[in-house]
Every structure is written in structure tokens, then in C-alpha cells.
Amino acid sequence: MIAPSNKAYVPFVSVENMMRLVHAIGIETMLKGIAQEIEADFKRWESFDKCPRVASHSHDGVIELMPTSDGELYGFKYVNGHPKNMKEGLQTVTAFGLLADVNNGYPLLLTEMTLLTALRTAAMSALAAKHLAPKGARTHAIIGNGAQCEFQAIAMRALVGADKVRLYDIDPAATAKAMRNLTGRGLELTACTSAEEAVEGADIVTTCTADKQYATILTDNLVGPGIHINAVGGDCPGKTELHRDILMRSSIFVEFPPQTRIEGEIQQLDADHPVTELWQVMAGQTPGRRSERDITLFDSVGFAIEDFSALRYVRERLTGTPYFERLDMLADPDDPRDLFGMLDRAQPVLSPAM
């Protein structure tokens, strides 16, 4: 636990310090660590407050708050999703998050979560594949080679052992970027010219495109028996990646059904279409893959408990490191009732900014 010199100071992890922390720990080690925290929290799923994320949709994108609490700690993430940003040289997704003490409401950590969300999304994907993918899965097709691509590839290798990666994007420059970034990381890389070529021979298929629209990245004829699909890109109303017929043939696993039915691939299906909550698989309450020919589908939209797990992981790893700053963001008067007195006494010391 971090012990700031003054209780009113809050540890803050900037983008620069998050990058330092990732390199100090090692990206594969960090992905495994976050996945371990997520799995531990999913196994105690029923101890969390749960609600669909609070979303404010606009024509160009969405801004969301994702809160949860286990009764001891409270966490939330602010995150946006604006596909048009890429054309303007901006990130499609940006985020920050906070962890607080439920007993007194004081923040314990404030951190960037643009990088951390990419890490936890990839860790969650690989964790789901560990439970659902065919035994001995080695070949991983990634359709959509944008900002999430490399994280997904490295996580699947770290947690599942999928070391053959087939890459496809409608923009060849995105695939070339991913090939450069993943070279020298122990992966056998293949750049493909179509989704069909990428999926050929794949044990795991990850779809992670960015456009905010109903799309058909995978058609039914491309999906053979025994495959595991990791559907990451369909994550808001009106945005999907898979043909409906694929869903009808698949065993579907989700995080939190009330959220996924609004935002995930299953928004294409009837409201009573059966799905399995992934936490039940991790807790040993229900089986995951039932046969070698089973088509398993993780309809991933991201849920607040995963961010909570990532926040806890970062907070625990900060102890004894220089990878955070102390923010003076909480008033701390000597007498808790005398907030005005604290302000008044500061007047001779603090001159107004000109």
C-alpha cells in the first residue's frame, strides 16, 4: 500500500509513468498479472455492485462511466469511443480511472487508463480464450490491426501459447504497422490480404475493428467447427462485427448480460437467446467448451470489474517505485469543520494567479 507523506495527497500515474511501469514489470508479466487479478475477481463476482455502464451517445461517438465496488474499494473508469478520431490524428479511445476507499470515500489512486485499458482488454481476451479456446491452440487470426492489435497478439501468446499470428486489416498500412511492432517477439507473423485468408487454419479469431456501424467482418462460411472467436470490436449499440448466423451456431459467453445485450454482438439476437456468464466458467459452476467441434464465442464489451482489477493491480505494483506523482486534490483542514478557515488563512501566503 502506498503511504503518501500527507493523507490529502493522491497518487497519480501519468501516461509517461504508466509506460515506465509497464517496461519495469515487462509487458507479458503485466498482462499475466492483470489476467490473474481479473480471474480472482470474477471468481467472487457476486460480491460486486454491478450495473451497465452509463453511456452518453452522440453522432460521433460515446462517453461512458464504468463504476463498481466490492464493498471495500470503489472504482470507476471514464472512457470514450470516437472512431472518427483516427482520421484526425487522435486516439479512438482515451480513458482515466480512480480507485477509492469505501470506508471514508478518499481516493487512493488516479491513473491514465488509455494504455491500461488496452492491457486489460487484451488480458481479458486471453483469459477468456484460456477457458474457451480449443486445447493446444497455436494459430491466432486478428482482423482489425489498429491500436488494440499488438496487445491482443502478445496476450494470447503469454496466456494461451498462440504464437502464430495471421493479420488482416482493410488498411494495409495498419497491418504493416502491426508486423513491425510484433517482429522479434517470438511470434510467427503472416500478413494477409483478406479476412478469409487470415481465418484459414486459425484456432482463435479476434475481431477488433473500430467503425461505429453494423458490419460483417466475419461471415458464416468462414467459421468452421472447433474455432474460438474473440469478438472485441462490437462494443456499443449499433456496432457489430459478426454475421448473425455465426451467433446462432455458437456457444456464447458474456461478461454482464444486461450490458452485452445492449452493446455486444448479441444485440442482433432475441432478448431471451441463451448465453453463459463467463464468471460462472471461471468459478467452476458451468463448463466452457463442451466438445472439440464446439464454436465458442466471447462477446467482449468490457465490464467495470475488469477495470477495477486492473486498477488494483497497478496500485499494488506502485509501492516502492517512482512511477507516480502526488496530487494535491483533496482539501485537508486541521479541523474538518473549518474548510473556510483553511482558505482564509492561506490568503496571505497564496497570491492570485495573474
- List phi, psi (to 5°) of 221: -70, -15
Q: What is the DSSP string of 261-314?
A: HHHSGGGGS-TT---EEHHHHHTTSS-S--STT--EEEE----HHHHHHHHHHH
Neighbour tally for 112: CB within 10 Å: 20
CB 51 within 8 A of CB 66: no
Nearest to 242 by CA among 262, 223, 270, 224: 223
Residue that the C-alpha cell 470514450 belongs to: 80
The alpha carbon dihedral of 63, 316, 73, 123 has a sign of positive
Gyration radius of the chain over CA positions: 22
Cell (9 digits) for 35? 489476467
Catalytic residue among 41, 169, 203, 235: 235
Give the full edge-to-edge strand order of the sheet including 54-57: 54-57, 62-69, 73-81, 95-101, 107-112, 9-13, 325-328
Exposure on the CB side of residue 327, measured as CA atoms within 13 A:
15
Residue 235 a catalytic site member:
yes
Nearest to 59 by CA among 34, 36, 81, 39: 81
Q: Residues with catalytic annotation?
A: 235
